[in-house]
Amino acid sequence: MRKISFSLIAAVLFLLGSQISITTSSATAEGFKDVKSSDWFYSSVASLVQRGIVNGFSDGTFKPKQTVTRAELIKMVVTALKLDVSERKEGQSWYVPYVEAAKTAGVYTTKDFAAGWDQPITRLETARIAVRAEDRSLRDAKDTELMYEATKRGLITGVANGELGKDESSTRAQAVVIIDRVLQALAGQTLKMDKRAASYAEVELRGTNMETMWGGKMYPLPLKQDLSYEVKGTFEQVLIIDLDDKNSPYRGWVPELLKIDGNPWKGDYLLAFKVTMENTKIIKKAEILYSFMLIGNPYMVRAVIPEEHTKSSPIAIQKYISFNSMNKVTTWDLFTISKEKIAEYKAKNSYFWYFDWNIQKSFLLAPKGRVFS
């Protein structure tokens, strides 16, 4: 009788193929044909399989590259968090009790998506759910904040070159790793942050990557300031680039760099200020470059990207504003500052984040000119 039962079960599994998941809690990562111990997602698969949160398929595979649907990810997260799930009512889709549990817990909201449950879930949608699973107070946060929190907390890393890939579909491997990281964070562990991904997400949220790179904060951007008596300016973005690190966020935008004092840039950060200038009066036959108007911290050294590289770098071109008529131009202004000096400022929370006019007048870019609190 045992042989007949086993044969019947085997036949059913054969007919249904890989659409049936293995539900036995004794499954292990080593048992999957397509999961190796050297894979970047191996430890997460092993952990979640052992806990009974995820499983594999009847053909002995895990299918790490297969996309995850919205319904599947919701179930994984609800199972991982051990949320109370009600009994499925007659006629309901299998995922409805899990969706209701996630909604009650504040992990999912109908603003995320209310249909298309069999569609692949995107990385942005995954980030929303992952962050709320770790911190329910962010259930009403906007997408840019949720993506930044996901990267800052180490729940999500970037794809190629640290890009966020917000609209890309999440794979089973990615989903398992993210859920594993959520559980680690809830257990009090500190996760490693992908600095490039966090920088890109912070710039989308705040216009600067200062917190990611330095652990500091400045006034919110965009920030309006008078650059002179005749020119108003708006600081749109402030990018901080580690020149020594070829993998630093935005490092590819700096193919070459010259400091105006002639010294090498080794050991420096590059500060790239994106500023929109508007003249407030007409002065015939006059034009001016932003950098002619302002003087920064004395330890901030002006820099330029050589002319032969201007076409390959978004931050290379500096533009003049003409006073022949009322005009508006957006330009980049570049400075370097040594890492040693930033470490000193951080240790003492010193006053340094400001600009002086060429006359006795200045303005601050952070409260009291201090970015470290």
- What are 160-178's pLDDT values in tens digits? 888 999 999 999 999 999 9
The pLDDT assigned to 170 comes to: 96
Q: Tell whether 218 is covered by a domain.
A: yes
What digits encode the pLDDT tens for the residues 208-217? 999 999 999 9
Same domain, 196 and 318: no
Same domain, 216 and 355: yes
Dist. CA 29–CA 48, nearest whole Å: 9
Q: Tell whether 133 is covered by a domain.
A: yes
Q: How many CA atoms lie within 13 A of 136 on its CB side?
A: 7
Q: Tell whether 2 is covered by a domain.
A: no
Instruction: Give the mean pLDDT of 330-334.
Output: 93
Q: Judge contact between 99 and 93, C-beta under 8 A.
A: no
Same domain, 159 and 218: no
Q: Tell whether 38 is covered by a domain.
A: no
What digits encode the pLDDT tens for the residues 178-197? 999 999 999 999 999 999 99
Same domain, 181 and 300: no
The mean of the pLDDT values for the chain is 89
The pLDDT assigned to 283 comes to: 87
Q: Tell whether 46 is covered by a domain.
A: no
Same domain, 347 and 315: yes
* C-alpha torsion sign, points 359, 365, 371, 373: positive
Higher pLDDT, 13 or 83: 83
Same domain, 360 and 237: yes
Does residue 223 surpass a pLDDT of 70?
A: yes
Q: Tell whether 32 is covered by a domain.
A: no
Residue at which a domain ends, from 200, 224, 256: 200
Q: How many CA atoms lie within 13 A of 88 on its CB side?
A: 9
Does residue 201 surpass a pLDDT of 90?
A: yes
Does residue 53 surpass a pLDDT of 80?
A: yes
Higher pLDDT, 115 or 18: 115
Q: How many CA atoms lie within 13 A of 197 on its CB side?
A: 26
Same domain, 227 and 334: yes
How far from each other are the two terminal CA atoms of the chain, in whole angstroms?
74
Same domain, 218 and 193: no
Higher pLDDT, 355 or 3: 355
Domain span at residue 248 reads 207-369
What digits encode the pLDDT tens for the residues 280-326? 999 887 777 665 567 778 899 999 999 999 889 999 988 888 888 89
Does residue 20 surpass a pLDDT of 50?
A: no
Does residue 5 surpass a pLDDT of 60?
A: no
Number of domains the chain contains: 2
Does residue 2 surpass a pLDDT of 60?
A: no
Q: Judge contact between 323 and 284, C-beta under 8 A.
A: yes
If you ran DSSP here, which 8-state letter would residue 277 be given? Answer: E
Same domain, 75 and 190: yes
Same domain, 125 and 188: yes
CATH code at position 298: 2.60.40
Same domain, 331 and 290: yes
Q: Tell whether 11 is covered by a domain.
A: no
Same domain, 214 and 196: no
Alpha helices in the chain (DSSP H): 2-16, 42-50, 70-81, 96-105, 123-134, 143-152, 172-186, 195-206, 210-214, 290-293, 339-348
Residue at which a domain ends, from 157, 184, 200: 200
Strand order from edge to edge, sheet including 231-242? 223-226, 231-242, 268-279, 328-338, 301-304, 258-259
Residue at which a domain ends, from 200, 232, 262: 200
Q: Tell whether 58 is covered by a domain.
A: no
